[in-house]
Structure 1
Amino acid sequence: MLQITVPGSGDLKFKDLVLDFNGTLACDGELIPGVRERLLLLAESLKIHIITADTFGSVEQEVAAIPCELAVISTTSQDDEKLDYIKSLGVKNVVAVGNGRNDRLMLKAAQLSMAIAQTEGASMTAVLAADILVPDILVALDLLLKPQRLIATLRI
Protein backbone atom coordinates (compact mmCIF):
# COMPACT_ATOMS: atom_id res chain seq x y z
CA MET A 1 0.00 0.00 0.00
CA LEU A 2 1.08 3.54 -0.73
CA GLN A 3 -0.16 6.16 1.71
CA ILE A 4 0.29 9.88 1.14
CA THR A 5 -0.86 12.70 3.40
CA VAL A 6 -1.84 15.74 1.37
CA PRO A 7 -2.31 19.01 3.31
CA GLY A 8 -5.89 20.16 2.90
CA SER A 9 -7.01 16.82 1.46
CA GLY A 10 -6.06 14.25 4.11
CA ASP A 11 -4.70 10.76 3.64
CA LEU A 12 -4.72 9.03 0.28
CA LYS A 13 -4.31 5.25 0.42
CA PHE A 14 -3.60 3.32 -2.74
CA LYS A 15 -3.43 -0.43 -3.30
CA ASP A 16 -3.70 -0.59 -7.09
CA LEU A 17 -1.99 1.17 -9.98
CA VAL A 18 -3.96 0.77 -13.23
CA LEU A 19 -2.14 1.67 -16.42
CA ASP A 20 -3.13 1.86 -20.05
CA PHE A 21 -0.50 0.21 -22.28
CA ASN A 22 -0.26 1.79 -25.75
CA GLY A 23 0.32 5.51 -25.61
CA THR A 24 0.99 5.38 -21.88
CA LEU A 25 3.54 2.67 -21.04
CA ALA A 26 4.45 1.90 -24.63
CA CYS A 27 4.94 3.55 -27.99
CA ASP A 28 4.19 1.45 -31.07
CA GLY A 29 3.77 -1.60 -28.83
CA GLU A 30 7.19 -1.35 -27.14
CA LEU A 31 7.75 -0.32 -23.51
CA ILE A 32 9.23 3.12 -23.15
CA PRO A 33 12.80 2.95 -21.77
CA GLY A 34 12.81 3.34 -17.97
CA VAL A 35 9.24 2.08 -17.45
CA ARG A 36 10.14 -1.50 -16.52
CA GLU A 37 12.57 -0.44 -13.80
CA ARG A 38 10.10 1.99 -12.25
CA LEU A 39 7.25 -0.52 -12.29
CA LEU A 40 9.46 -3.07 -10.55
CA LEU A 41 10.05 -0.54 -7.76
CA LEU A 42 6.38 0.39 -7.54
CA ALA A 43 5.37 -3.29 -7.39
CA GLU A 44 6.89 -3.35 -3.90
CA SER A 45 4.05 -1.15 -2.60
CA LEU A 46 1.27 -1.32 -5.22
CA LYS A 47 -0.42 -4.03 -7.22
CA ILE A 48 0.23 -3.20 -10.86
CA HIS A 49 -2.55 -3.67 -13.42
CA ILE A 50 -2.07 -3.15 -17.16
CA ILE A 51 -5.21 -2.88 -19.25
CA THR A 52 -5.13 -2.81 -23.04
CA ALA A 53 -6.75 -3.88 -26.29
CA ASP A 54 -3.19 -4.90 -27.30
CA THR A 55 -3.28 -3.07 -30.62
CA PHE A 56 0.21 -4.25 -31.59
CA GLY A 57 -0.06 -7.77 -30.16
CA SER A 58 3.06 -7.28 -28.06
CA VAL A 59 1.87 -6.65 -24.51
CA GLU A 60 2.51 -10.13 -23.08
CA GLN A 61 6.10 -10.14 -24.28
CA GLU A 62 6.73 -6.54 -23.23
CA VAL A 63 5.47 -6.95 -19.64
CA ALA A 64 6.66 -10.52 -19.01
CA ALA A 65 9.31 -9.41 -16.49
CA ILE A 66 6.93 -7.11 -14.58
CA PRO A 67 4.84 -8.49 -11.71
CA CYS A 68 1.41 -7.35 -12.86
CA GLU A 69 -2.13 -8.32 -13.65
CA LEU A 70 -2.67 -8.07 -17.39
CA ALA A 71 -6.17 -7.45 -18.73
CA VAL A 72 -6.62 -7.61 -22.50
CA ILE A 73 -9.97 -6.07 -23.38
CA SER A 74 -12.09 -6.04 -26.51
CA THR A 75 -11.69 -3.48 -29.26
CA THR A 76 -15.19 -2.11 -28.61
CA SER A 77 -16.57 -0.37 -25.49
CA GLN A 78 -13.06 0.00 -24.11
CA ASP A 79 -13.98 3.02 -22.00
CA ASP A 80 -16.71 1.05 -20.20
CA GLU A 81 -14.47 -2.01 -19.79
CA LYS A 82 -11.71 0.08 -18.22
CA LEU A 83 -14.20 1.74 -15.87
CA ASP A 84 -15.67 -1.63 -14.87
CA TYR A 85 -12.16 -2.93 -14.23
CA ILE A 86 -11.25 -0.22 -11.74
CA LYS A 87 -14.68 -0.42 -10.12
CA SER A 88 -13.98 -4.11 -9.45
CA LEU A 89 -10.83 -3.05 -7.56
CA GLY A 90 -12.56 -0.31 -5.57
CA VAL A 91 -12.01 3.14 -7.08
CA LYS A 92 -10.98 4.67 -3.74
CA ASN A 93 -7.82 2.55 -3.76
CA VAL A 94 -6.83 3.16 -7.40
CA VAL A 95 -4.30 5.37 -9.13
CA ALA A 96 -5.08 5.34 -12.87
CA VAL A 97 -2.85 6.51 -15.71
CA GLY A 98 -3.79 6.88 -19.37
CA ASN A 99 -3.84 9.12 -22.42
CA GLY A 100 -6.70 8.12 -24.68
CA ARG A 101 -10.36 8.92 -25.02
CA ASN A 102 -11.03 5.35 -23.94
CA ASP A 103 -9.30 6.14 -20.61
CA ARG A 104 -11.51 9.10 -19.68
CA LEU A 105 -14.08 7.22 -17.58
CA MET A 106 -11.38 5.33 -15.70
CA LEU A 107 -9.46 8.55 -15.05
CA LYS A 108 -12.55 10.37 -13.80
CA ALA A 109 -13.53 7.57 -11.40
CA ALA A 110 -10.14 6.76 -9.85
CA GLN A 111 -9.12 8.25 -6.51
CA LEU A 112 -6.10 9.75 -8.26
CA SER A 113 -5.55 9.94 -11.99
CA MET A 114 -2.87 11.16 -14.33
CA ALA A 115 -3.15 11.90 -18.03
CA ILE A 116 0.00 11.45 -20.11
CA ALA A 117 0.78 13.71 -23.08
CA GLN A 118 3.65 12.09 -24.93
CA THR A 119 4.33 10.72 -28.45
CA GLU A 120 0.74 9.63 -29.20
CA GLY A 121 -0.67 12.81 -27.67
CA ALA A 122 -3.52 12.92 -25.20
CA SER A 123 -7.25 13.09 -25.74
CA MET A 124 -8.66 16.32 -24.31
CA THR A 125 -11.43 14.32 -22.67
CA ALA A 126 -8.78 12.27 -20.87
CA VAL A 127 -6.88 15.39 -19.85
CA LEU A 128 -10.02 17.03 -18.46
CA ALA A 129 -10.98 13.86 -16.56
CA ALA A 130 -7.58 13.53 -14.86
CA ASP A 131 -6.37 15.08 -11.63
CA ILE A 132 -2.88 15.70 -13.00
CA LEU A 133 -1.42 16.18 -16.48
CA VAL A 134 2.17 15.05 -16.92
CA PRO A 135 4.50 15.20 -19.94
CA ASP A 136 5.44 11.51 -19.93
CA ILE A 137 5.06 8.20 -18.12
CA LEU A 138 8.41 8.47 -16.35
CA VAL A 139 7.25 11.67 -14.65
CA ALA A 140 3.97 9.99 -13.65
CA LEU A 141 5.71 6.97 -12.14
CA ASP A 142 8.28 9.19 -10.41
CA LEU A 143 5.44 11.12 -8.73
CA LEU A 144 4.45 7.87 -7.06
CA LEU A 145 8.04 6.87 -6.27
CA LYS A 146 8.79 10.34 -4.82
CA PRO A 147 5.50 11.32 -3.13
CA GLN A 148 6.77 14.73 -1.98
CA ARG A 149 6.44 15.82 -5.62
CA LEU A 150 2.87 14.55 -5.70
CA ILE A 151 2.05 16.32 -2.44
CA ALA A 152 3.34 19.61 -3.87
CA THR A 153 0.97 19.23 -6.82
CA LEU A 154 -2.13 18.18 -4.87
CA ARG A 155 -2.03 20.24 -1.67
CA ILE A 156 -4.56 22.97 -1.15
Structure 2
Amino acid sequence: MLEIDIPGRGTFGIRHVVCDYNGTIAADGHLIEGVASRIREITEFAQVSVLTADTFGTVRAECDGLPVDVRVFARDDASACKASIVRELGAEGCVCIGNGFNDITMFSEAALSIAIMGKEGACGKLLTCADVVITNVLDAFDLLLRTDRLRATLRG
Protein backbone atom coordinates (compact mmCIF):
# COMPACT_ATOMS: atom_id res chain seq x y z
CA MET A 1 0.00 0.00 0.00
CA LEU A 2 1.12 3.54 -0.76
CA GLU A 3 0.30 6.18 1.84
CA ILE A 4 0.25 9.75 0.59
CA ASP A 5 -0.20 12.51 3.15
CA ILE A 6 -1.51 15.61 1.43
CA PRO A 7 -1.51 18.69 3.66
CA GLY A 8 -5.02 19.98 4.18
CA ARG A 9 -6.57 16.91 2.54
CA GLY A 10 -5.49 14.02 4.73
CA THR A 11 -3.79 10.71 4.13
CA PHE A 12 -4.70 8.53 1.18
CA GLY A 13 -4.01 4.80 1.43
CA ILE A 14 -3.67 3.65 -2.16
CA ARG A 15 -4.10 -0.08 -2.77
CA HIS A 16 -5.31 -0.03 -6.38
CA VAL A 17 -4.38 1.89 -9.50
CA VAL A 18 -7.19 1.54 -12.04
CA CYS A 19 -6.32 2.48 -15.63
CA ASP A 20 -8.43 2.95 -18.69
CA TYR A 21 -6.68 1.31 -21.65
CA ASN A 22 -7.19 3.03 -25.03
CA GLY A 23 -6.26 6.69 -24.98
CA THR A 24 -4.77 6.39 -21.50
CA ILE A 25 -2.05 3.73 -21.28
CA ALA A 26 -2.36 2.70 -24.94
CA ALA A 27 -2.55 4.50 -28.28
CA ASP A 28 -4.26 2.81 -31.21
CA GLY A 29 -4.47 -0.42 -29.22
CA HIS A 30 -0.77 -0.64 -28.27
CA LEU A 31 0.85 0.14 -24.93
CA ILE A 32 2.65 3.45 -24.89
CA GLU A 33 6.41 3.06 -24.61
CA GLY A 34 7.50 3.15 -20.98
CA VAL A 35 4.11 2.12 -19.54
CA ALA A 36 5.13 -1.50 -18.86
CA SER A 37 8.14 -0.51 -16.77
CA ARG A 38 6.11 2.04 -14.78
CA ILE A 39 3.41 -0.56 -14.12
CA ARG A 40 6.05 -2.97 -12.80
CA GLU A 41 7.27 -0.27 -10.39
CA ILE A 42 3.77 0.56 -9.20
CA THR A 43 2.89 -3.07 -8.52
CA GLU A 44 5.49 -3.04 -5.77
CA PHE A 45 2.94 -1.13 -3.65
CA ALA A 46 -0.45 -1.40 -5.39
CA GLN A 47 -2.50 -3.71 -7.59
CA VAL A 48 -2.93 -2.39 -11.13
CA SER A 49 -6.16 -3.03 -13.03
CA VAL A 50 -6.66 -2.27 -16.71
CA LEU A 51 -10.28 -1.65 -17.74
CA THR A 52 -11.40 -1.61 -21.34
CA ALA A 53 -14.03 -2.39 -23.93
CA ASP A 54 -10.96 -3.41 -26.00
CA THR A 55 -11.85 -1.49 -29.15
CA PHE A 56 -8.81 -2.84 -31.02
CA GLY A 57 -8.88 -6.36 -29.53
CA THR A 58 -5.27 -6.07 -28.35
CA VAL A 59 -5.34 -5.58 -24.58
CA ARG A 60 -4.62 -9.18 -23.55
CA ALA A 61 -1.66 -9.55 -25.91
CA GLU A 62 -0.29 -6.11 -25.02
CA CYS A 63 -0.56 -6.76 -21.27
CA ASP A 64 0.71 -10.35 -21.46
CA GLY A 65 3.43 -10.83 -18.86
CA LEU A 66 2.53 -7.70 -16.91
CA PRO A 67 1.35 -8.03 -13.30
CA VAL A 68 -2.07 -6.50 -14.04
CA ASP A 69 -5.69 -7.53 -13.74
CA VAL A 70 -7.23 -7.00 -17.20
CA ARG A 71 -11.01 -6.58 -17.30
CA VAL A 72 -12.84 -6.40 -20.61
CA PHE A 73 -16.52 -5.45 -20.73
CA ALA A 74 -19.25 -4.58 -23.22
CA ARG A 75 -18.82 -1.30 -25.07
CA ASP A 76 -22.34 -0.03 -24.44
CA ASP A 77 -22.12 0.02 -20.64
CA ALA A 78 -18.47 0.95 -20.04
CA SER A 79 -19.13 3.77 -17.59
CA ALA A 80 -21.24 1.69 -15.21
CA CYS A 81 -18.84 -1.27 -15.48
CA LYS A 82 -15.82 0.85 -14.60
CA ALA A 83 -17.54 2.46 -11.60
CA SER A 84 -18.71 -0.94 -10.36
CA ILE A 85 -15.18 -2.33 -10.52
CA VAL A 86 -13.81 0.65 -8.56
CA ARG A 87 -16.46 0.12 -5.86
CA GLU A 88 -15.68 -3.62 -5.80
CA LEU A 89 -11.96 -2.89 -5.27
CA GLY A 90 -12.71 -0.39 -2.51
CA ALA A 91 -13.04 3.12 -3.94
CA GLU A 92 -11.39 4.77 -0.93
CA GLY A 93 -8.14 2.98 -1.84
CA CYS A 94 -8.23 3.61 -5.60
CA VAL A 95 -6.47 6.01 -7.91
CA CYS A 96 -8.14 6.09 -11.32
CA ILE A 97 -6.39 7.18 -14.51
CA GLY A 98 -8.37 7.85 -17.69
CA ASN A 99 -9.17 10.20 -20.55
CA GLY A 100 -12.72 9.54 -21.72
CA PHE A 101 -16.35 10.29 -21.08
CA ASN A 102 -16.86 6.76 -19.78
CA ASP A 103 -14.28 7.45 -17.03
CA ILE A 104 -16.35 10.18 -15.35
CA THR A 105 -18.31 7.82 -13.09
CA MET A 106 -15.24 5.91 -11.88
CA PHE A 107 -13.49 9.23 -11.21
CA SER A 108 -16.38 10.29 -8.97
CA GLU A 109 -16.02 7.02 -7.01
CA ALA A 110 -12.22 7.00 -6.55
CA ALA A 111 -10.16 8.53 -3.77
CA LEU A 112 -7.94 10.23 -6.36
CA SER A 113 -8.33 10.66 -10.11
CA ILE A 114 -5.87 11.64 -12.83
CA ALA A 115 -7.05 12.70 -16.29
CA ILE A 116 -4.71 12.22 -19.24
CA MET A 117 -4.70 14.61 -22.19
CA GLY A 118 -2.72 12.45 -24.59
CA LYS A 119 -2.83 11.79 -28.32
CA GLU A 120 -6.56 11.03 -28.23
CA GLY A 121 -7.22 14.15 -26.21
CA ALA A 122 -9.50 14.09 -23.19
CA CYS A 123 -13.20 14.51 -22.61
CA GLY A 124 -13.78 18.07 -21.45
CA LYS A 125 -16.33 17.00 -18.85
CA LEU A 126 -13.83 14.54 -17.36
CA LEU A 127 -11.38 17.35 -16.67
CA THR A 128 -13.81 18.97 -14.24
CA CYS A 129 -14.06 15.68 -12.29
CA ALA A 130 -10.33 14.99 -12.06
CA ASP A 131 -8.11 15.77 -9.07
CA VAL A 132 -5.14 16.19 -11.43
CA VAL A 133 -4.91 16.75 -15.19
CA ILE A 134 -1.67 15.81 -16.94
CA THR A 135 -0.54 15.46 -20.55
CA ASN A 136 1.37 12.18 -20.41
CA VAL A 137 0.56 8.85 -18.79
CA LEU A 138 4.19 8.34 -17.77
CA ASP A 139 4.00 11.58 -15.82
CA ALA A 140 0.76 10.36 -14.24
CA PHE A 141 2.48 7.19 -13.03
CA ASP A 142 5.41 9.29 -11.83
CA LEU A 143 3.03 11.23 -9.56
CA LEU A 144 2.56 7.94 -7.69
CA LEU A 145 6.22 6.99 -7.80
CA ARG A 146 7.40 10.44 -6.69
CA THR A 147 4.61 11.47 -4.35
CA ASP A 148 6.02 14.91 -3.50
CA ARG A 149 4.85 15.97 -6.96
CA LEU A 150 1.30 14.90 -6.16
CA ARG A 151 1.52 16.48 -2.71
CA ALA A 152 2.58 19.82 -4.24
CA THR A 153 -0.30 19.78 -6.73
CA LEU A 154 -3.06 18.80 -4.30
CA ARG A 155 -2.12 20.42 -0.99
CA GLY A 156 -4.86 22.45 0.66
Shorter-chain TM band? over 0.9
Does 2:70 align with 1:70? yes
Cα distance between partner residues in 1 of 2:141 and 2:14: 14
Alpha-carbon RMSD: 0.6
Task: Write out per-residue CA displacement over residues 27-68 of structure 1, whole angstroms, 9 at most, x where no aligned residue.
Answer: 000000010000000000000000000000000011112101
Paired residues for 1:106-145 under 5 Å? 106-145=106-145
Secondary structure (helix, strand or coil) at the match of 1:65 reads: coil
Cα distance between partner residues in 1 of 2:88 and 2:80: 12
TM-score by length of 2: 0.98
Stretches of structure 1 that go unaligned for 5 or more consecutive residues are: none
Shift of 1:108: 1.6
Cα distance between partner residues in 1 of 2:119 and 2:146: 24
Identical aligned residues as a percent = 40
* Corresponding residue number in structure 2 for 1:149: 149
Shift of 1:82: 0.5
TM-score by length of 1: 0.98
* Corresponding residue number in structure 2 for 1:59: 59
Cα distance between partner residues in 2 of 1:128 and 1:80: 19
Stretches of structure 2 that go unaligned for 5 or more consecutive residues are: none
Deviant stretches of 4+, over 6 Å: none
Does 2:95 align with 1:95? yes
Shift of 1:12: 0.7
How many residue pairs are counted as aligned between the two chains? 156
* Corresponding residue number in structure 2 for 1:84: 84
